[in-house]
Amino acid sequence: MILLKGVRKSYFIGEREIEVLKGVDLVINRGDFVILMGVSGSGKTTLLNIIGLLDRKTEGEFLFMGYNVDGLSDDILAKMRNRHIGFVFQQFFLLPYLNALENVLIPIIYSDKKIKNPRERAKELLERFGLKDRIYSKPSQLSGGEQQRVAIARALINEPDVILADEPTGALDSNTGFEIMDLFRILNEEGKTVICVTHDPKVKEFGKRVLRIEDGIISEDFKN
Ligand X SMILES: Nc1ncnc2c1ncn2[C@@H]1O[C@H](COP(=O)(O)OP(=O)(O)O)[C@@H](O)[C@H]1O
Give every CB contact of residue 60 below 8 A, 6+ residues apart in sequence. Answer: 4, 5, 6, 7, 8, 23, 24
41's contact among Mg ion, ligand X, none, with CB below 5 to 8 A by partner kind, is: ligand X
Measured from the CB atom, is 54 or 63 closer to ligand X? 54
The residue whose Cβ lies closest to Mg ion is: 45
Please give the helix or strand (H or E) that residue 86 lies within, else none. strand 85-89
Using CA of residue 154, residue 156, residue 159, residue 162, what is the dihedral sign? positive
The CA distance from 42 to 44, in Å, is 6
Q: For residues 45 and 103, which CB has a smaller minimum distance to Mg ion in the complex?
A: 45
Q: How big is the site for ligand X, counted in residues (CB under 6 A)?
A: 12
- The footprint of Mg ion (CB under 5 A) covers 44-45
The set of long-range contacts for 147-150, using a CB threshold of 8 Å and a minimum separation of 24, is 147/92, 147/94, 148/88, 148/92, 148/172, 148/176, 148/180, 149/180, 149/183, 150/92, 150/94, 150/100, 150/103, 150/104, 150/126
Under rule CB under 6 A, which residues in 11-30 are in contact with ligand X? 11, 13, 18, 20
From residue 37 to residue 76, the character string flagging contacts with ligand X as x (rule: CB under 6 A) and all else as - is -x-xxxxxxx------------------------------
Minimum Å distance from CB 14 to Mg ion? 22
**CB nearer to ligand X: pick between 22 and 185:** 22
Residue 11 or 97 with smaller CB distance to ligand X = 11
Return the number of the residue (44 or 57) whose C-beta is nearest ligand X. Answer: 44
Residues 131 and 166: their CA atoms lie apart, in Å, by 23
Q: Which does 52 bind (CB under 5 to 8 A by kind): Mg ion, ligand X, none?
A: none
DSSP characters over 161-175: SEEEEESTTTTS-HH
Residue 42 interacts with, from ligand X, Mg ion, none (CB under 5-8 Å by kind): ligand X
Residue 201 near ligand X by CB under 6 A: no
Q: Which residues lie near ligand X (CB under 6 A)?
A: 11, 13, 18, 20, 38, 40-46
